[in-house]
Amino acid sequence: MNKPIILTGIKPTGHPHIGNYIGAIKPALEMAKSPDVQGMYFIADYHALNTVQNAEQLRNYTYEITATWLALGLDPQKVIFYRQSDVPEVLELNWILSSLTPKGLMNRAHAYKSKVDTNKDEGLDIDAGVNMGLYTYPILMAADILLFQSNFVPVGKDQVQHVEIARDLASSFNHIYSETFKLPEYVIQEETATIPGLDGRKMSKSYGNVIPLFENAEKLKKLIFKIKTDSTPPTEPKDPSKSALFTLYKEFAKENEIKHLKQQYEEGIGWGQVKQQVFEVLNRELETPRKKYRDYMEQPKLLKEILQAGGEKAREQAQQQLRIIKERIGC
Ligand code: TRP
């Protein structure tokens, strides 16, 4: 019996931070737990190439992300966990799909479009700083998704358009060559709040306001104490729904702890005390994964083996599907 496939890619372009964990890793691991689905999670290293162009850095990010997912509970026996570049069939499909992709569709893809807009605003050539990897990024992503007949694709809001493009390309292919691809659906984690960073804006590498996931306790504490707060005096009531610290706390604390802190906000509590509580809960929840992460990072050979084993499983399926596709197109 074929279970529905949940597939998602993780780009190795930076050190994993708390925003990544809450926004992407935690919900994806939760989804993969169900016995009724087949999870396929991969490190999208080819997608990273248009920004990370240093071999050692790319390799390190790849291992960090691999170790992070494993430390947080991904079970490679259950989820097919692989590295994109270990499945070269993806690139064959990438080319096939390129041949049916209207150029105009890529002109409208948001990452490219916003780069063009910035270039225009700055009076530069519209394509300044644009490589073909950025321009055709959505086609490679469609290949990732369609090659495995994925049913569901968990993504952040910024990736929805890309899944829609994958659907469009699947439909075009089906129309030209007969029904071949399933049309994938995106799944967005609506209920997760935007995780605020140190300055209160969304936690993001590009704002430089992140809290790395596996920082040691001392550094974690320092960072939490740096989170921006307002100047309400300690005794005055505070609104938890407007507090970055509370948002963070909620993601890690237990029900009764959340209730208790909420009450303290309403009665008035000093920011220093709030920060101490946030630190204690985050540190408690991250302590074990941090240890596991360090263990994995000391065993790059093991990480490589895990990815390779996953890659073999993925390739088996990829090869089968590619045979069908090539048959359909006459290759
Ligand atoms: N583009 C995605 C991101 O930046 C990563 C990605 C690559 C992906 N291929 C994918 C996500 C396929 C879902 C499915 O986050």
pLDDT digits (tens, 9 = 90+) for 12-71: 999 999 988 988 899 899 999 999 999 999 999 999 999 999 999 999 999 999 999 999
Helices (H) and strands (E) in the chain, counts: 15, 5
| pLDDT value at 191 more than 60 | no
For residue 2, what pLDDT is reported?
A: 85
* pLDDT for residue 225: 96
Confidence of residue 1 (pLDDT cuts 50, 70, 90): low
pTM over 0.85: yes
Pocket test for ligand 1, best of 5, 6, 11, 20 (most atoms within 8 A of CB): 11
CB-based contact 143:91 (threshold 8 Å): yes
As a whole number, mean pLDDT of residues 82-90 equals: 98
Q: Is the pLDDT of residue 192 over 80?
A: no
Q: Is pLDDT at 194 greater than 90 in this prediction?
A: no
The amino acid sitting at 295 is D
Given this model, what pLDDT does residue 190 score? 62
Query: Is the CB of residue 37 less than 8 Å from the CB of residue 31?
Result: yes
199 CA → ligand 1 middle, Å: 27
Which H helix or E strand runs over 152?
strand 152-155
In this prediction, residues 174-194 reach a mean pLDDT of 87
Please tell me the distance between residue 90's alpha carbon and the centre of ligand 1 in angstroms.
Answer: 13
Cα of 289 from ligand 1 centre, angstroms: 24
Q: Which of 328, 303, 312 is nearest to 70 (CA)?
A: 303
